[in-house]
Amino acid sequence: MSEHTDPLPLCRPSIGPEEIAAVTEVLASGWLTTGRQAAAFEAELAAFCAAPKTTCPPHAVAVSSATAGMHVTLHALGIGPGDEVVTPSLTWVSTVNSIVLTGATPVFADIDPHTLMVSAETIAPCLGPRTRLIVPVHFAGAPLDLDPIRKLAATHNIPLVEDAAHAIGAAYRGQRIGAQGTAIFSFHPIKNITTGEGGMVVSDDASLIERIRRLKFHGLGQDAYDRHTQGRAPQSEVQEPGWKYNLTDLAAALGRTQLRRLPEFIAARGRLAACYRQRLASVPGVRPLALPPWPHQHAWHLFIVRIDPKEAGVDRDTLLQRLQERGIGCGIHFKAVHLQSYYRQRLPQWLGRLPATEQCSEQILSLPLFPAMTEADVNRVAAAIQEATG
């Protein structure tokens, strides 16, 4: 049994004096809701994503969560009853929930079990006459192989929206995720940067961004800060019904500070991931996800291993329990959506049709990973895994 008793969490946000000072400044300013900080955060994140010398730079809209971002984006694209949206089942339920809540039907593409991501090859058989959107998911900080997926979408004239909740700071073939097309980021506390709760829709489609900006704030042409600073009428006209999905300045101030530290965070995560890979290389049946073979920069949002029960001598759920008993926080990202109780009943036709997804759903385990961890922490986790397997 490990001698360590202090709990090691799965994740912990990196909040320091700079973040606290930024939020305190907003509290003292008298303007707490969407305002100057939110506008600056949008501009800075769009600039962060932008490719050098791009002719069509991205624009960004801050929202209260990535789920809210997905909801307004689906609505802005006109997705609704009778439509089909292709996406993986191995993702957080919010992606599929958002599709279902529009009245559309999710169509699940299977994944590569080594990366947990869909590909053009797994998406293609899912396309049909009612397909109106493809929503692939970047996973654990690794980027999708986007060029073949983009080519497939363009060939069939189907829009593509990247679920980039895991991918802030990741890059594909020299371009940061968000530089091209449409991507939705999450700033939940588990993510590489956080605003407490929050998200961002980034797109090089200016008309789409304009509609998303309107929909995220009641369908008005301007938000409260815009009306205040531009001297506009106290009440703007509703151009179409919308929601209240705006991000507050309190959250945006935190996000701006976190964004400046993102390269530092990713570097720390990468060092820890390399240490994990080295320490776990000789542990039977415990396999880290494969690194994508295409040129990329990994953001190392999560460190995920697959547990082969025959080789490891223990199944995933038992190993998770044993690690928790040793004070080590673990997670499952994710139980496949089509295996969740609601979707098992609503979409039973998918059971057994996604072999890689179903196998990985039973085998994947997320290990602790956050910038403040040390190599000693990684060694502790690896030692505990060795003790708990075999």
Q: Which residues are catalytic?
A: 191
Phi, psi (degrees; rounded to nearest 5) at 21? -65, -40
**The dihedral formed by the CA atoms of 88, 161, 343 and 337, expressed in degrees to the nearest 10:** 40
The residue type found at 286 is V
